[in-house]
Amino acid sequence: MRLCAKLSLFGLLSLPIARHQAPRTATVQGCRETTFGGRINGGQAYARELGEHLWLHLSPLGNNEGWTIEIEPPNSGNDYAYPLNPPLRLANSQYLGTGYSETVKEQLSHNHVVYFVLNPSDYEKAIALAQDVLWTYYASAPDKTAEGYLAALPKFPSGVLILKPVKYETKNGGKSVKWMLFSAMVTTPSAFHLAPDLSSMETGCPAREVGPT
């Protein structure tokens, strides 16, 4: 569950988010890339199997104000994207709706780059690290500080989803959305088994960098 409280001690968790694309390494192997698309009405939920018991969910916000992007195993409530996409208490790349001083129209004007862990073991490690930072106000261990958390993020084997709003219609001054047509590109390590109905191609693996810009 997202927390809407304002961050005070953890300014590093409020870093700017990538809005366009994930950088690539020079290698042409090591990962696989798949693409798909869909259309969704405001207030409607969307679900798509990615593979290895992970599903992409677009979960609707109230008043047709957009969606949150979540990647979860079925019936678990564990969002495998949440611990990998700071800021943890403010709007991040998973937020696709009105709020945090932006309208859904503004959120639909750019791509959303969302990283996610690939298995339960890494999720437990990642969420524990995120919770340490959120709730340990005076951490003594380096890995429990905001700096330690950010340094650990690139070390997690992960997939990356780039969701691009292609066409959409908004109302209420851009605060509500009638519908959205979107495309999605998902890149995962080659060892990750994508859903059978998703075709894929070899590609370079995303180069994850987290830090001030």
Task: Return d(Cα 68, Cα 111) in angstroms, integer.
Answer: 13
pLDDT in tens, the chain (213 residues): 333 332 333 333 443 334 455 554 444 459 999 999 999 999 999 999 999 999 999 999 999 999 999 999 999 999 999 999 999 888 899 999 999 999 999 999 999 999 999 999 999 999 999 988 887 654 455 556 788 888 999 999 999 999 999 999 999 999 999 999 999 999 999 999 999 999 999 999 978 766 432
If one counts every other C-beta atom within 10 angstroms of the C-beta of residue 30, the result is 13
pTM comes to: 0.84
Annotate 130-173 with DSSP letters as a single string: HHHHHH-TT--SGGGSHHHHHHHGGGS-EEEEEEEEEEEEEETT
Domain ranges of the chain: 25-186
